[in-house]
Amino acid sequence: MPEASSANFNRLVEPKLKERRLTRQARETCSAANHIAGACLVNLTWVCSPRMNSLLLTGGRVIDPANRLDAVADLLILNGKIAAVGKDAATQAPGEIERFDAKGKIVCPGLIDLHVHLREPGQTAKENIATGTAAAARGGFTSVVCMPNTSPAIDNAGTVALIHERAAQHGVVNVFVTGAITKNIAGEELASIGSLKRAGVVAITDDGHCVQNNELMRRALEYAKMFDLPVMDHCQDYSLVTDGVMHEGYWSTVLGLRGWPSAGEEMIVARNILLAELTGARVHCQHLSAAGSVALLREAKKRGVPISGEACPHHFTLTDAAIAGSEKFWAEDGKNFFSTLNPQPSTLNSFPEWPAYDTNFKMNPPLRTARDREAILEGLADGTIEILCSDHAPHCDYEKEVEFDYAPFGITGLETELSLSLMQLVHARRISLPDLIVKYTVNPARLLNLKKGTLGVGADADVTVFDPDREWIFERDETASKSSNSPFFGWKLKGRTVATIVNGKKIWIEQAELAPV
């Protein structure tokens, strides 16, 4: 329901004021010549290290699945590269090197999120490369892969070059770019896939949209295979989904909202499996939400079809009951969520609250049933779904503050995804910590042929340090994103990034780590 115009005005103006205030603070607090462009614009916890590219991390539990390492060890970074890992790494460090005490923390390869909307160019009221990568750094991500549904769409080499240039100027983490499958993401005519590859895209996708014409999709896969590019697909059959706004089921009936059936996703997952089999091209199904999609993927992978899938924390944390309001969600589908917290919320009144029809629970694909959520969790546990990501999709407050039917789909996710994944997968004892890290490092790097996701000697020193047990509350005024469309504000979460290191530079340190002990 539209709010009073004065409230909308405040919400429109407030982000701009916040940005100006933070920019002024950054100027006052960071005069070091060697700070990373953009890093200091967002939060006072950004740091400027005197020796930017060398660091010794001591005493952490180093988990590096790419090198089968899981041990308490030191990690030495020299000139932006991993120089040594192990008990004797400290002996090789120059005497004056900066040290970081990682005792009691996890030290792992920098996390990769392969599904992020940075909204630049053309939608920078929602997000831009500086703010989006700042949110990534806060969440522990050293690399993000941005989607091409910008304005204009990233469907040609010139726009790819523009993103690379802006990312080099304003990004605080590595930004990899995807190109569109079709011109202007219109689903009608193939983009110049070879030209996009030469410009440096790591995959092609029409994300936000889905190529409906199966013959066109077949040709896209054949071209992509020639250029050794994976094709990532947002699986949505338009004729089945039509104008659905939430999962089609019990709650859509109760709430009187138009339904979006699971088959609308499963139909395209099945199509992609058949076309991957036909062409031999690598197809990756994005943000899977339905139990049937997981079953299809599991069966196809057994047959050796080159298909893969990803899942986002909102789909394996929330359900469609959340759209009926917090009370309905916590009463049944959400009742175990906080079971690993200490202390747990004691009464239903102390759980996070939100009203029915809250548009921060509207996403594409939609939140589904508890059975679907369980299937996604099982798919992650048995390896059917190899990759975790956020589908970080910022939108302005004024866009979301409308009736549920009219609000855009999507939520921000970079700053909460590691915590939610830890809670739902590791603390819930579904997968091990190394298996979780694989899904954020080795597996996305392998799919996209990125030279990332490893702490091997000589690799780029992209490192994430996190405390899997730290409990914290995600506060609205602390987000680094330009947008605030998260359903998780006010939630107590378990597991938090402590430091994010890109090319040997500490680009984010959690405030508590800077406080004198």
| DSSP string across 151-188 | SS-S-SHHHHHHHHHHHHHH-SSEEEEEE-SBGGG-SS
Q: How far is the CB of 234 from Zn ion (least distance, A)?
A: 4
Q: How far is the CB of 242 from Zn ion (least distance, A)?
A: 17
> Judged by CB, which is closer to Zn ion: 207, or 248?
207
- In total, the chain counts a number of residues equal to 517
Question: Which segments within 162-252 are labelled E, that is strand?
Answer: 174-179, 203-205, 231-233, 246-247
Q: Are strands 463-473 and 55-64 parallel, antiparallel or unpaired?
A: unpaired
> Judged by CB, which is closer to Zn ion: 234, or 271?
234
Of the candidate spans 69-77, 173-181, 201-209, 492-500, the one that interacts with Zn ion by CB under 5 A turns out to be 201-209
Q: Which residue has the tokens 């597996």?
A: 443
* Closest C-alpha among 142, 171, 157 to residue 499: 142
Contact between 233 and Zn ion (CB under 5 A)? no
Q: How far is the CB of 208 from Zn ion (least distance, A)?
A: 5
Alpha carbons 55 and 80: distance in angstroms, whole number: 9
Q: How far is the CB of 371 from Zn ion (least distance, A)?
A: 22
Alpha carbons 381 and 38: distance in angstroms, whole number: 38
* Closest C-alpha among 176, 139, 172 to residue 506: 172
Q: How far is CA 31 from the centre of its chain?
A: 31
Of the candidate spans 227-235, 291-299, 373-381, 491-499, the one that interacts with Zn ion by CB under 5 A turns out to be 227-235
* Contact in structure between 495 and 418 (CB atoms under 8 Å): yes
Q: How far is the CB of 152 from Zn ion (least distance, A)?
A: 18
| DSSP string across 92-153 | GS-TT--EEE-TTSEEEEPEEEEEE---TTT-TTT--HHHHHHHHHHHTEEEEEE-S-SSS-
Q: How far is the CB of 17 from Zn ion (least distance, A)?
A: 31
> Judged by CB, which is closer to Zn ion: 234, or 506?
234
Among 207, 265, 320, 462, binds Zn ion (CB under 5 A): 207
- Which residue in the shown chain puts its C-beta closest to Zn ion? 234
* Contact in structure between 225 and 252 (CB atoms under 8 Å): no
**CB-based contacts of 158, cutoff 8 Å, min separation 6:** none
Q: How many CB atoms lie within 10 A of CB 54?
A: 21
> Judged by CB, which is closer to Zn ion: 360, or 454?
360
Q: How far, CA to CA in Å, does 335 sit from each of 239, 322, 328, 486, 492? A: 36, 12, 10, 20, 14
Binding-site size for Zn ion (CB under 5 A) equals 2
> Judged by CB, which is closer to Zn ion: 127, or 207?
207
Q: How far is the CB of 286 from Zn ion (least distance, A)?
A: 5
Of the candidate spans 75-83, 226-234, 238-246, 295-303, the one that interacts with Zn ion by CB under 5 A turns out to be 226-234
> Judged by CB, which is closer to Zn ion: 206, or 467?
206
Among 170, 197, 234, 373, binds Zn ion (CB under 5 A): 234
Query: Which positions are annotated as active-site residues?
Result: 391
Of the candidate spans 74-82, 160-168, 207-215, 350-358, the one that interacts with Zn ion by CB under 5 A turns out to be 207-215
Of the candidate spans 50-58, 230-238, 323-331, 430-438, the one that interacts with Zn ion by CB under 5 A turns out to be 230-238
Q: In the 8-state DSSP scheme, what is residue 320?
A: G
> Judged by CB, which is closer to Zn ion: 207, or 462?
207
Token digits of residue 224: 């992509």
Residues of this chain that interact with Zn ion (CB under 5 A) are 207, 234
